[in-house]
Amino acid sequence: RDLIDRNVARAGLIIPPGYGRDLAGWQSAEVAFILDGSDPTVASTALAAAQLIGQSLSTQTSIERMEARGQTVITQQPIDVRTIVWFNPGLISSYYMVPAMIGIILQYLTTMLTATSIVRERERGTIEQLIVTPLRSWELILGKLIPYVLIAFLNTIEVLTIGVVLFHVPINGDLLLLLTLTALFLVTTLGIGLLISSIANTQQEAMLTTMFTLLPSIFLSGFFFPLAAMPIWLQIVSYAIPLRYFLIIVRGIVLKGVGLSAIWPEVVALAIFAFVVMSAAVRRFRKSLD
């Protein structure tokens, strides 16, 4: 269970004691195939492969028994594969997609709003009026970011509510932990938006740059496609995508009900991204104010 919670394994085969004895005694033997259903695409592929292998071994054993006994009919299957799907027994795709929508919406919303709002004020000349006020630069930055943090949390709760009410997505984990780690992800996305605002000269440039950062995040974060199915070089590139870590976190908490002990590597990686991106953004923004 621990390996599946930490995404180290996607499936496991449990061979009970007496398996070999039952087969040698011409009896039916059972094995349990445990499957992580949080990713329906991977789970469906693994399930089909397990059923095919189980059927093949059972057929081969049946033929050997018929030849040994001179029979033409086998009354029972020698090997019975019992499939157990965790977290998403019905392999419903909305269980996988809806929690991930939180990350996509938050990144797009906070990055776009932060970047365009600051550039808009620069275009209108109001940013200069703020500069001459007694406000310190960090106070100015904080005042700009707090409204978007509140909007982002409201959107998070909204998506979760829609997921539960309309799509019946279960929330198996700690909601407070999810919101806390969402705040960590917001530090990263707000930092990206702040960084874009210090580079872009017009709102159009800010919007295009935001989309340029969003598209790779969508395709390389595991939102649509399993990371394991990508070429090795793309898997390596995906480690530079903050959304990758947040999707593992949000799916782990919502679907698997895991705690920090299972997702701490992703939390540490996200914290490093948040610190580096926000530090670079604040430094760059201060220079643009000067």
Burial label for 179, CB within 10 Å (0-12, 13-18, 19+), is: middle
Q: Which residues pair with 83 in a beta bridge?
A: 33
In a shared domain, residues 57 and 75 = yes
In a shared domain, residues 82 and 98 = no
In a shared domain, residues 9 and 129 = no
In a shared domain, residues 33 and 152 = no
Give the CATH number of the domain where residue 48 resides: 3.40.1710.10
In a shared domain, residues 135 and 271 = yes
Amino acid at residue number 67 = E
Residue 274 is predicted with a pLDDT of 94
Residue 106 is predicted with a pLDDT of 93
Final residue belonging to a domain, choices 86, 101, 128: 86
Residue 72 is predicted with a pLDDT of 61
pLDDT mean by block of 10 residues, the chain; 290 residues: 86 87 80 91 90 86 75 69 90 92 93 90 77 72 87 92 93 94 94 90 91 91 86 93 95 94 95 94 78
In a shared domain, residues 78 and 214 = no
Angle at 104 between CA 1 and CA 289, to 5 degrees: 125
Final residue belonging to a domain, choices 86, 109, 141: 86
Residue 75 is predicted with a pLDDT of 60
In a shared domain, residues 172 and 262 = yes
Containing structural domain, residue 211: 93-289
In a shared domain, residues 276 and 137 = yes
In a shared domain, residues 219 and 164 = yes
Final residue belonging to a domain, choices 49, 70, 86: 86
In a shared domain, residues 182 and 261 = yes
Residue 210 is predicted with a pLDDT of 92
In a shared domain, residues 285 and 185 = yes
Number of structural domains (the chain) is 2
In a shared domain, residues 79 and 125 = no
CA distance 263 to 267: 6
* DSSP strand pairing (79-86 vs 11-14): unpaired
